[in-house]
C-alpha cells in the first residue's frame, strides 16, 4: 500500500519514484497524440508570445533582456497548461471533449480560485522581471557598455550578472514550481480554495523532494531546449509536459 500523508482535504503520496515520472511522461505523450489540436493550440499561445517578445526586444535594441525574459517564461507555463489538465481529466474520465468545455476550464469552477492563482503567478513573474532589471542595471553600470550590446555578456561583469541572476532566478523558479506544480491541476480537478491547493502542492514536494526536484529539472531543461529553435519546440514539449504533470498529480494526490 502506498505511503501517504493527510494534508488539508487530500492525502499526498510519500513514495513517488522515478518510474512514476517515466509513466507520467508516457501518459502525457499518449494524451498529446490522442488530442493534438488542444495541445498545439495552447502551446501556440506560448510560442507566439515568445516570438513577439523576441522581436519587440530586438527592435528596441534590448537584446540582452532576452535572457531574463526567457528565464521567467517557465514561471507562466503551469498556468498556460490549465487547458491541458482539463483535456487529460476528461480523457481519463471518459468524458466528451469539446472546445467549449476545455476553454471553460480556464475560468475554473466558478469560484474565482483559479483566477486568483493566475494573478498570483502573474505577480510572481512581474516581480522576477523587476528583480532581474535591478540585477542587470547594477552589473551593466560596472561594465560601462550599452544594454543593446550582447557583447556585454562576455565581459567579467556580464558573466557575474549571469551567475547572480541565474542563482536568484533558480530560487524563484523553485518556489513557484513548488507552489503551482500540484495546485493548478488540483484546482481544475476539485472545488477547493487556492490556498488549500498551494498547501497540498508544497506538501507533495516536501514529501518527495528528490523525485519532485528531478521533475522540476526535467521541465526546466526541456522547456529551455524547446525555446532554442525559435520557440517552435514548445509546440510539442509544452503539451506533453502539461499532460504528464496531470498524470503525476493523479498519482501523488488523492481525496481524503
pLDDT of residue 235: 92
- Please check whether residue 181 is in contact with residue 78, taking contact to mean a CB–CB distance below 8 angstroms: yes
Closest listed residue to residue 58, CA positions, set 128, 145, 150, 137? 150
CA 134 to chain centre: 24
- For residue 32 the three cell numbers come to 498529446
- The upper half-sphere exposure of residue 19, i.e. CA atoms within 13 Å in the direction of its Cβ, equals 1
CA 236 to chain centre: 15
- Please check whether residue 84 is in contact with residue 39, taking contact to mean a CB–CB distance below 8 angstroms: yes
Alpha-carbon span 46 to 227, nearest angstrom: 10
Alpha-carbon span 256 to 9, nearest angstrom: 6
Q: What is the pLDDT along the chain (256 residues), one digit of tens a residue?
A: 457 777 767 899 999 999 999 999 999 999 999 999 999 999 998 888 777 777 766 666 665 566 666 665 666 667 778 889 999 999 999 998 888 888 877 776 656 787 788 777 778 777 877 887 787 777 766 655 555 555 666 677 777 877 887 788 788 888 888 999 999 999 988 888 888 999 999 999 999 999 999 999 999 899 888 888 778 898 999 999 999 999 999 999 987 7
Element (H, E) at 255: strand 253-255
pLDDT of residue 60: 64
Element (H, E) at 10: strand 10-13
Alpha-carbon span 53 to 49, nearest angstrom: 6
Domain ranges of the chain: 24-92+119-255
Cα separation values, 22 from 25, 48, 179, 245, Å? 5, 29, 22, 11
| DSSP code at position 81 | T
pLDDT of residue 135: 79
Q: How many CB atoms within 10 Å of residue 59?
A: 8
- For residue 248 the three cell numbers come to 503525476
- For residue 9 the three cell numbers come to 482535504
pLDDT of residue 171: 85
Amino acid at each position: 500500500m502506498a505511503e501517504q500523508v493527510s494534508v488539508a482535504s487530500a492525502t499526498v503520496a510519500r513514495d513517488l519514484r522515478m518510474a512514476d515520472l517515466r509513466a507520467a511522461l508516457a501518459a502525457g505523450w499518449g494524451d498529446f497524440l490522442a488530442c493534438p489540436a488542444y495541445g498545439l493550440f495552447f502551446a501556440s499561445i506560448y510560442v507566439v508570445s515568445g516570438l513577439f517578445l523576441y522581436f519587440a526586444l530586438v527592435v528596441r535594441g534590448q537584446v540582452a533582456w532576452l535572457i531574463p525574459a526567457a528565464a521567467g517564461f517557465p514561471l507562466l507555463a503551469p498556468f498556460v497548461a490549465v487547458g491541458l489538465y482539463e483535456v487529460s481529466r476528461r480523457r481519463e474520465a471518459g468524458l466528451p471533449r469539446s472546445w467549449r468545455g476545455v476553454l471553460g476550464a480556464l475560468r475554473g469552477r466558478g469560484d474565482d480560485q483559479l483566477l486568483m492563482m493566475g494573478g498570483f503567478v502573474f505577480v510572481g513573474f512581474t516581480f522576477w522581471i523587476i528583480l532581474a532589471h535591478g540585477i542587470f542595471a547594477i552589473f551593466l553600470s560596472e561594465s560601462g557598455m550599452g544594454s543593446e550590446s550582447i557583447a556585454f555578456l562576455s565581459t567579467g561583469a556580464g558573466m557575474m550578472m549571469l551567475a547572480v541572476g541565474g542563482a536568484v532566478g533558480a530560487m524563484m523558479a523553485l518556489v513557484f514550481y513548488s507552489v503551482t506544480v500540484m495546485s493548478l491541476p488540483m484546482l481544475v480537478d476539485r472545488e477547493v480554495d487556492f490556498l488549500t491547493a498551494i498547501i497540498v502542492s508544497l506538501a507533495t514536494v516536501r514529501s518527495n523532494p528528490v523525485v519532485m526536484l528531478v521533475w522540476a529539472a526535467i521541465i526546466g531543461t526541456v522547456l529551455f531546449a524547446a525555446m532554442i529553435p525559435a520557440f517552435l519546440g514548445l509546440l510539442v514539449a509544452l503539451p506533453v509536459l502539461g499532460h504528464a504533470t496531470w498524470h503525476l498529480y493523479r498519482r501523488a494526490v488523492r481525496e481524503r
